[in-house]
Chains A and B, each alone.
Chain A
Amino acid sequence: MQKIFNLACGSFYALGAYVGVSAVGWYVGAGGPPALFIVPLAVAGLAVGAVGVVVERGLLRFVYDRDETFQLLMTFAVVLMMEDAIRLTWGTAPRSTGGLYLAYGQVRILGATAPVYNLIVIAASLAIALAIGWLLTRTAFGRIIRATADNRDMAEALGVDMRRVYAKVFTLGTALGTLGGALVIPATAAMSEMGIELIVEAFAVVVIGGLGSMRGAFVGALAVGILRSIAISVYPELEMLLIYLIVIAVLVVRPRGLFGGAEA
């Protein structure tokens, strides 16, 4: 909507992961029951999304009307600064939540063992996707967002306060990133460079799905995830290649992505 290409989304993801680890560490240290660790994890992940206001008001609003190159450079600078800030705060060693990942046990589905926590994360992702869909299509705020994305000048002429909308949307996006980082962390470990890893994959998802399309992002993410898994099972050498072959194919055949708008 903001017509900005934000590389720092990866950093928000990493930040959410680290804050999530710390929150869970504090919670367990304070004697909280392990079964409820997902509560402080999610709350901390959402709360740290507030950093979005700072980045949007403090930096991004100055480059909205500039060339994309400026935006890329500035958000890349944010990526590097955040990575070092994380290193200063949490140190260089990977951080994890220990064995809490298995706190909810495992279930057998179709002959395979799956940790219950993964199912919770999948359910949470679906809920978030549905909630965002509802927000965009069923609420007044959602209509304003879509109107602004469609035609910013017209929306502004009709009395929409752009600054507030931008700050809100960007903070919401940031909070989704930090929450995502926090939710994924019990299954893995937080590392300061995890943000950059994510940006590359997110780029593939967005190109396949279509820039600026929520449905596209959803389908693109599913496609990338499933294709990678299939590639690893069938022919592991193809894992990364396959994704980028599809990215190239999409760029050549349908440059606006599977669900992208005509002008994206």
Chain B
Amino acid sequence: MTRFSQATPDPLRPRGPRDNDTSRRQFLKLLSAGAGAAAATRLDGPPAQAQATGPVKLGVLTIRAGIAAPVGAAGLRATEWWAERVNKAGGILGRPVQLVVEEESNPKDTVERYRKLVLQDQVEVVLGGISTGVTLALGPVAEDLGTPWLSWDGTTQKGVEETMPNPKWTFKSVDNEVEAIVAGILTPKYFKGIKTVAGIGNDYSYGHDCWESYQAVLKRYIPDVKFVLELFPKLGVTDFTSHIAAIQQSKADLLMCSFWSGDATIIMKQAAAVGLFKTMKGVFTTAGGVHDSLKKEFTPEGLLLGYNTMYFDDPKASPLLKQFVHEYKAKYNEYPPYECDHAFFDAESYKVAVEKAAGAGKKWPEKAQVVKALEGLEIESLSGRRSWREDHVQMCNFYQGITTHKNAYDFVTISPIEIVSTKQAMKPAGSKLFDWINGWKV
């Protein structure tokens, strides 16, 4: 998903402690190896030889600061959980997994850190990338450096259109606007007689793209629907009182909101304070990203709420998801959001692809062989079966549903649960989004 164009537009910001840990550890290792000569051998030696045995290094890029830091934390936690699990079971082809974590911040610095992961740390694969503002810049670099990169949540879309239709090394997240399309499909099913709609989203690509896509889809189902208000407060705003007043004034039948971070919680609370949803229906395409902060006290029942690709409380959850949710809760006292699923899928699909490419001989495969094995690969992720489309885009299910208070938590969950596949709600490879939507038979 596109989140925002600049995660942390701040070159002065110090990097996370993990980076320093890693480099310090490596430095100490080099020291303990004895002398400069040893170091030189290590750094100059051919990577294939140096890495065919011993731990396999996986680079991880994650947001650590700013408004998306909780999203980054969730992705990293799931990757660490995966690595622990894989290492307990004997690693990948017998090699233990070692994560080298770097920070995703603004595009320029993140590209530098990506280069460092590939060239200096000599990782086998890079996992991660959340903001499309950043990953749009990473795509060409990944192609240039010839090491597979599996994005968690970032795409190489400009607006709603693809900029890298045939990548070799780049593997991208689902298209940014899918959850808005899913919400557009579900809106007429759950909310009858909607004639006027107001929209609010963050003032950057993701907010605008979701609103455009949602309108296009809804118009297909309700041709005479009127969009009476659109608001795009900038990212980081914490007071929506005036926006809510304007929404009330618009007297729309329904509010569509694509907030996905702390701002989703805030607008919910401030809307409840003036009783907004007593007179208006609500669609929150992405607020499931902060689902456990949507407390029952201020989040009404009857809203359409999107959880992206993973719903922690799915009654049909696989044993894998149940175990993950249980251990995540025990360790962090939180219930995991969807970013965990993107991250787990990337890491696990890499492992399966390496094993598949190695074949019966169990010889560690070349990077290009791993890429081949990833194309079209379907595996078991936290949320169920997920796959890589041939053009390197994630295929998965989206979970949305109607908020309910009937659960054991202090926050809302959804019932009924709607599961919509990217096969239905994502534009096919090579097509233009709005042409594709306008071509639907509804």
Contact = CB atoms under 8 A, between A and B. Distances in A.
B272 A113 contact: no
A106 B274 contact: yes
Contacts of A187: 239, 241, 269-270, 273
Contact of A188 (B73, B266, B295): B266
Nearest to A233: B246
A102 B273 contact: yes
A102 B236 contact: no
Given A191-B262, A193-B66, A113 B274 contact: yes
A98 interface: yes
B337 to A, nearest CB: 10
Contacts of A87: 65, 69
Nearest to B64: A92
A194 interface: yes
Contacts of B266: 94, 96, 188-189
A228 interface: yes
A110 to B, nearest CB: 12
A112 interface: yes
A106 B278 CA distance: 14
Nearest to B240: A188
B230 to A, nearest CB: 7
B12 A228 contact: no
B80 to A, nearest CB: 16
B246 A98 contact: no
Contacts of B239: 184, 187-188
Contacts of B248: 112
B245 A188 contact: no
Nearest to A117: B273
B269 A101 contact: yes
A157 interface: no
Number of contact residues on A: which range applies?
Answer: 20 to 34
Most chain A beta carbons < 10 A, residue from B70, B232, B261, B269: B269
A197 B231 contact: no
Contacts of A229: 241-242, 245
A249 interface: no
A239 B243 CA distance: 10
B298 A102 contact: yes
A194 B265 CA distance: 15
Contacts of B261: 94
Given A188-B238, A232-B243, A101 B273 contact: yes
Nearest to B66: A193
Nearest to A115: B273
A167 to B, nearest CB: 29
A105 to B, nearest CB: 10
A80 B13 contact: yes
B293 A94 contact: yes
A228 B242 contact: yes
A99 B297 contact: yes
Interface of B: 12-14, 64-67, 69-70, 72-73, 229-234, 236-239, 241-243, 245-246, 248-249, 261-262, 265-266, 269-270, 272-275, 290, 293, 295-298, 334, 410
